[in-house]
């Protein structure tokens, strides 16, 4: 009975150590790439929505017919997009690089 509890605790501990090692390896190798890809995807998405629905901000670029056809796909992201474009920024937001 005691041996089974010991084996279960040891297995759980090995699993936790494996997860920690995997997280450390991920952080050392791919984390920065993933963050850069997420930023690039977000920028491309914001530009696309600006082109399609720029008339909401007073920048009519695309005819309303095409914008209306794309509206069902863009509505879930509209509020976040508007908040992102209209938030105040300063010089430090332009340079999102680590110093070192």
Q: What is the pLDDT of residues 24-54, one digit of tens each?
A: 999 999 999 999 999 888 888 888 877 777 7
**Tokens coding 27:** 């952080």
pTM for this predicted structure: 0.54
- Better-scored residue on pLDDT, 87 or 41: 41
> Distance between CA atoms of 62 and 51, rounded to whole angstroms?
7
Length of the chain: 100
**Domain coordinates of the chain in residue numbers?**
2-90
Rg (CA), the chain: 23
Number of neighbours of residue 78 by Cβ within 10 angstroms: 13
Residue 60 in this model has a pLDDT that exceeds 80 = no
**pLDDT band per the 50, 70, 90 thresholds, residue 67:** confident
């Amino acid at each position: 009975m005691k041996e089974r509890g010991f084996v279960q605790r040891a297995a759980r501990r090995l699993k936790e150590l494996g997860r920690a090692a995997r997280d450390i390896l991920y952080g050392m190798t791919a984390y920065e790439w993933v963050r850069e890809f997420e930023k690039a995807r977000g920028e491309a998405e914001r530009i696309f929505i600006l082109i399609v629905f720029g008339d909401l901000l007073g920048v009519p670029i695309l005819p309303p017919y095409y914008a209306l056809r794309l509206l069902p796909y863009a509505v879930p992201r509209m509020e976040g997009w508007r908040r992102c474009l209209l938030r105040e920024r300063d010089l430090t937001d332009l340079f999102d690089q680590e110093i070192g």
